[in-house]
């Protein structure tokens, strides 16, 4: 059974989803890949205001949006995806609060883990963009090698807001032209 609740944040309404024990989803309303691979289960979901992991997630989000340093490791996360996607999402959780990394750096780390010569940055980008637990699994901390604020399913404006909450100087980044 899936349990859901909403959270009103400074970047809009967030939908939180849980399997009762773990957080399995957090989406910004109208983001690209909204509900990703849980659409059918969400349609049958029950309201989960009293589910412990959802209450903990709301407390985590309260702290985050107040500018407090929080970590994905504080919550039990169980994102649904392929083994490759889960590997990328695990690496995203290691990006320190208030810092950014590039798709290229993540690709290098995966190549090293898999003991292969190289990994496609585009493959990494695809996994990052399909992150089903936005904000907490910090895909907003990934930028292009040329300091471009590319590829955030929640929208570039929200990516900038999230980086600013973490006191990251966004003036050094560029916004890609469409």
Domain spans of the chain? 3-74, 83-172
CATH number of 83-172: 1.10.10.10
Nearest residue to 78 via CA among 53, 107, 113: 53
Domain spanning 3-74, CATH architecture: 2-Layer Sandwich (3.30)
Measured distance CA(122)–CA(44) in Å, rounded: 34
pLDDT given for residue 48 in this prediction: 84
- Report, as ranges of residue numbers, the positions in the chain whose pLDDT lies below 70: 34, 36, 39-40, 43, 178
Nearest residue to 124 via CA among 142, 148, 138, 136: 142
Which element (helix H / strand E) includes 3? Answer: strand 3-9
pLDDT given for residue 151 in this prediction: 73
8-state DSSP, 145 = T
pLDDT given for residue 39 in this prediction: 65
**Residue 113, CA distances (Å) to 13, 58, 88, 106, 154 in order:** 36, 33, 11, 11, 29
The residues annotated with a catalytic role in the active site are 139
Strands in 44-90 per DSSP E: 46-47
pLDDT given for residue 32 in this prediction: 74
Measured distance CA(123)–CA(170) in Å, rounded: 25
Contact 8, 46 (CB under 8 A): no
Nearest residue to 79 via CA among 168, 34, 18, 155: 18
Residues ≥6 apart with Cβ < 8 Å to 12: 28, 29, 30, 158
Asked if the domains at 3-74 and 83-172 fall in one CATH topology, the answer is no
Residues ≥6 apart with Cβ < 8 Å to 172: 147
Query: What's the predicted TM-score (pTM) here?
Result: 0.92
pLDDT given for residue 14 in this prediction: 96
């Amino acid at each position: 059974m899936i349990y859901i609740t909403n959270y009103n944040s400074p970047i809009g309404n967030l939908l939180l989803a849980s399997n009762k024990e773990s957080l399995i989803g957090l989406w910004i309303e109208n983001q690209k890949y909204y509900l990703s691979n849980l659409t059918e289960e969400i349609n049958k979901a029950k309201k989960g205001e009293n589910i412990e992991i959802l209450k903990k997630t709301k407390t985590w989000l309260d702290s985050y949006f107040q500018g407090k340093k929080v970590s994905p490791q504080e919550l039990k996360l169980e994102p649904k995806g392929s083994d490759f996607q889960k590997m990328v999402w695990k690496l995203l959780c290691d990006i320190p609060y208030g810092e950014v990394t590039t798709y290229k750096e993540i690709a290098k780390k995966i190549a090293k883990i898999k003991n292969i010569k190289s990994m496609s940055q585009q493959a990494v980008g695809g996994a990052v963009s399909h992150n089903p637990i936005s904000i907490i699994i910090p895909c907003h901390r990934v930028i292009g090698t040329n300091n471009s604020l590319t590829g955030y399913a929640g929208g570039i404006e929200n990516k900038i807001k999230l980086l600013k909450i973490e006191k990251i100087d966004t003036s050094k980044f560029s916004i890609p032209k469409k």
